[in-house]
Structure 1
Amino acid sequence: MKKVWVVASGKGGTGKSTLTANLGAALATAGHKTLLIDLDVGLRCLDICLGLDDRVLFDGMDVLEGNCRPREAILAHPILPSLFLLPTAQNRRPKDFDAQRLEAVCSRLVEEYDVILLDCPPGLEPIPACAAKSAFRGLIVATPEPTAIRDADRVAAEFAAAGVAESYLVVNRFRPDYEIKGLAQPPAEIAVSLGLPLLGTVPEDEAVTAATLSGVPVVLRQPDSPAARIFTALAGRLPGKDLL
């Protein structure tokens, strides 16, 4: 399903969900009908990132289990008419997740949206590997830390094994001063070490934290901030976006 991207990281704290929310907002701003699907069962957060946490009635687990139709659980963003969210369940466990049902749901939804981003929990099993089977392209998010880089390598291998055709790296929360001091590996070197194309590098930016606390993606709240400009550029750089 060429419209479906899986977004994952090997460890928590990489800013993966913040990236997903801002990519979605940037794509929607550009006129692409975009659906974000939160797959972090039991620990959902995209609804908070988008300021939709008080509007959740049904969730993705309800959809997968046939308790409601997708359109009953999908939330429309109040500011961006082209941005939609399918939240996950907060009171369920990852073991309840059914990969085959996710594939079936995605195969129906691809007809209604230009882009679908699957926001996975950190780590390998079981959900990221399951979600990868529903996606054509992958975004692997890592911070410039040895542990995050090593874990990203494992995620890339899992994506390849699951049949993801193309995977790309985003280095997030990067501090150029750390690179100058020799404390952080340059993003281009990280990409080479992982054998992944580098889609882009997002700088550490206080505007992102402030935006997250306000429930408004930074690309909307402070579009001229350094991180917001990069998020917008990344959305325009997604390979194959113009072919979806």
Structure 2
Amino acid sequence: MYAFDSRIRYSETDSEGDLTLDALLNYFQDCSTFHSEDVGLGIGYMKEIGQVWVLSSWQIVVNRYPKLGEKVKIVTLPYELKVFLGYRNFAMLDEQGEYLAKANSLWSLLDVGTGKPVMVNEAMHKGYEIDEKLDMEYAPRKIAVPEGGELLEPIVVKKHHLDTNHHVNNGQYVNIAMEYLPDDFVIRQMRAEYKKQAFLDDVLHPYVVSTENDYVICLQDEAGKPYVSVEFQGQ
């Protein structure tokens, strides 16, 4: 298990002073990045070998959103590496050690040049010590997109959406999708299924559908093929 301590910043909170979901996701993403850097498998190493970890799915379950100024611990643990896939849990805990949020994620290892999957190498197996997976209710990776939704105004990918891999960062997709939720909607679970990468100047066409207690937002291309599908469940 890898962990770091932090404190909730003003820039990470909403109008009520609570941590936002996209800030929580960024904490988790940063935690895995710190972990990789500290075991010698970070961005520099991945560029050197011409490979990249691409996120395939997220599941984040929130028990409570911490307040401005709260001290928190963020943890991550890889619990399985097989073939070209990596499975990681995440969690955020308060000062009493209570779980504020838990998450599950699936990553695919790809060759940068070909875009095809490659086998997890010996250095990765050695560097990422395998832990026991967290106790949580694991949801399916696949997200069903219901019919009867609404196709809204398209969004052009800008420079601020991109990460070091030069495609839209996984958190940016979620941040975009959150814009279509009602102001009073409290997210208790978020699932995201990533289908393909979007690059600078690509156009995202949001398809939004709501059911009794959740929203599904599919960001798709002009032909209707999804870049990502995001499901938000309320309380």
Report the TM-score when normalising by structure 1: 0.28
Between structures 1 and 2, the one with greater helix share: 1
Report the TM-score when normalising by structure 2: 0.29
Select the structure with the greater relative contact order (CA < 8 A; seq sep ≥ 6).
Answer: 1
Between structures 1 and 2, the one with greater strand share: 2
